[in-house]
Structure 1
Amino acid sequence: MLKTVICGIEFKNPVFLAAGVMGETGSALKRIAKNGAGAVCTKSVGLERKEGHKNPTIVEVEGGFLNAMGLPNPGVDEYVEEIERVRNDLKRMNVRIIGSIYGKDEREFAIVAEKIEPYVDMIELNISCPHAGGGYGATIGQNPDLSYKVVESVKDAVKIPVFAKLTPNVTDIKVIAKAVVEAGADGITAINTLGPGMVIDIEARKPILSNKFGGMSGKAIKPIAVKIVYDLYETVDVPIIGVGGITTGKDALEFIMAGASAVQVGTGVYYRGYDIFRKICEEMEVFLKEKNVKLKDLVGCAHD
């Protein structure tokens, strides 16, 4: 009932793990796969090991979380070993793997993409992290020319589908979307975290996060994410993966009706546990049976 095809790849359901949450190790990816996800997205990995920011890197706020991880990862060469350990197990569970990658320029992105391609079904370009610094993340994704160059370079380097994950922290996200699609992106993931934002400890009289500021995720950003998916659906003709504040089947269906072909769940794991993926799928199935409709017929139906 929930089977979904995106860029010729079949997914058993459209509820995926988002990058940066429970994707640090192969065993973590396997745990999410066992709990019903249709696909798992890796932690964003780069060319070399990166320590990321010091703790504290995450703080709960009303309606969600602020985080400033700083893209910590072991580097792509070591990380693919993690994927290799569980790849056959995930294949047996019919769970796809999406490789999230980052780089400081189009050359780095292309090298990392080539290295990870044999181990994943799809690549997601992190050009949207709002707190990475050093020319990474949103520094690229806020510039249509830089975004174009990164996508073009990666598309030249690999043969599997490439999705660009966009930042909402721009004047007009439609301009960025058009640029990445013109460069050859097979799809778009929207959105990354909002912000950056800040929380101050009034007793210590200083920001709580070691990086001082971080990106906002969680339930509070969902209406913004839904609106962006809605706008992108009318702007570009490629599949969209919606992400931002999804915790229930109703949330997922909102994104799908706005135009998403699939959704990703991140901080929702905190609210409903590791089996949130199975719960969301079950809730979606109940809705489809009650309304006697097919999932594919709901994609973008809010535009009719």
Structure 2
Amino acid sequence: MADLNVNIGGLKLNNPVMTASGTFGYGEEFSDFINIARIGGIIVKGTTLHRREGNFYPRMAETPSGMLNAVGLQNKGVEHFANVIYPRIKEIDTNIIVNVSGSAIEDYVKTAEIINELDKIPAIELNISCPNVKQGGMAFGVTASGAAEVVKAVRSAYKKTLIVKLSPNVTDITEIARAVEESGADSVSLINTMLGMAINADTKRPVLSTITGGLSGAAVKPVALRMVWQVSKVVKIPIIGLGGIMNWRDAVEFHLAGASAVQIGTANFIDPTVTMKVIDGVNDYLDKHNHKSITEIIGALEV
């Protein structure tokens, strides 16, 4: 068996397969289907400083080779996570990572400070695709200056591994990646969902209550691969690739493009055991091609 261990900005993973925020709950929901401890890391659903009710229904829609979602970061807030959910999941024998979201920089900082005190949470993933209410609703992550500002603020408050999740809804993702690296990010994960919409021709109305939503699934994979490859050329910190990974072959392609680890999202809704299949498939691929370690294929794309 090949060595599947990877290091993500000081965070050690037994294998490079992780689960994407918002697609795996808090991990415990999948315990009837798989051995959760086998997963390299679980990124729990988006957590905010205060409780959020999310958007009105309908807020999910199936699309060709993918899905749209506009859940709206529904959660009960970071204090509820720390006091109620964390005690339930802290003994799961894998890396539990919290996805942190906010509408103002101080919200991000306060949330990160609370999570920083939780011993069994070794990392956070910063969702900078959130709208900055103080800047007219423009997402933090669509400008290099906005991304840098929030990352610097959180870096000063958070002492463990800081992963920053990048939005694909930008002109040049490499510019954003460089900005967050310079501002203290230990790793970047990409891509977050792409902005899309669906229309019901019979009613002549949008399918989603919010009109637009985040597109994920197999349809976005070519864009995600391209962006991972581009970012790998301009940053030195580890990259976590995600976007349309449905099987082990997809995962291998992301590694070849430069990703040290991968996250599986939409595929969990289709097959709750997909993470196990990807771990085994990647190992079989390495054995078949006589690779002793996963690190041998990271960024090994020949162009």
**Cα displacement string for residues 166-214 of structure 1 (whole angstroms, at most 9, x for unaligned residues):** 001111111111111111111100000112x111112222011111110
Structure 2 unpaired stretches of 5+: none
- Structure 1 equivalent of residue 183 of structure 2: 183
Check whether the contact 2:104–2:132 (CA below 8 A) recurs between aligned residues.
no
Q: Report what 2:285 is aligned to.
A: 287
- 2:23 corresponds, among 21, 34, 41, to 21
- Superposed, 1:15-94 pairs within 5 Å as 15-23=17-25, 25=26, 27-28=28-29, 34-35=35-36, 36-80=38-82, 81-88=84-91, 90-91=92-93
Partner Cα separation in structure 1 for residue 157 and residue 285 of structure 2: 41
Give the structure 2 partner of residue 101 of structure 1: 100
User: 112-121 or 174-183, which moves further after superposition?
Assistant: 112-121
Give the secondary-structure state (helix, strand or coil) at the position aligned to 2:124.
strand
SS of corresponding position for 2:71: coil
Amino acid at match of 2:124: I
Task: Give the structure-2-normalised TM-score.
Answer: 0.92
Q: Deviations over 1:2-59 (max 9, x none)?
A: 2222222221111101011122x46327568724421100111111000110111110
Pair 1:140-2:140 in alignment:
yes
The structural deviation recorded for 1:303 is: 5.2
Q: Contact conserved, 2:105 with 2:150, CA < 8 A, in 1?
A: yes
Q: Secondary structure at the match of 2:215?
A: strand
TM superposition score normalised by structure 1: 0.92
- CA distance, structure 1, for counterparts of residue 33 and residue 114 of structure 2: 24
Task: Tell me the secondary structure at the aligned position of residue 60 of structure 1.
Answer: strand
Contact 2:23 2:269 in 1 (8 A): no
Match of residue 122 from structure 2 = 121
- Runs of 4 or more, structure 1, over 6 Å off, are 135-138
Distance 1:278 1:193 in 2: 23
Over residues 229-279 of structure 1, what are the superposed CA-to-partner deviations in whole Å (9 max), with x where a residue is unaligned? 0000101110000000001111001101111010000101123x2111100
Q: Of Structure 1 and Structure 2, which has the larger fraction of its residues in helix?
A: 1
CA RMSD after TM alignment: 1.9
1: distance between equivalents of 2:144 and 2:34?
A: 35
Deviation of 1:138 after TM superposition, in Å, equals 6.5
1:229 corresponds to: 228
C-alpha separation in 2, matches of 1:186 and 1:290: 32
- Count of aligned residue pairs for this structure pair: 295
Distance (Å, rounded) in 1 between the aligned partners of 2:216 and 2:22: 12
Q: Distance in 2 between matches of 1:201 and 1:133?
A: 30
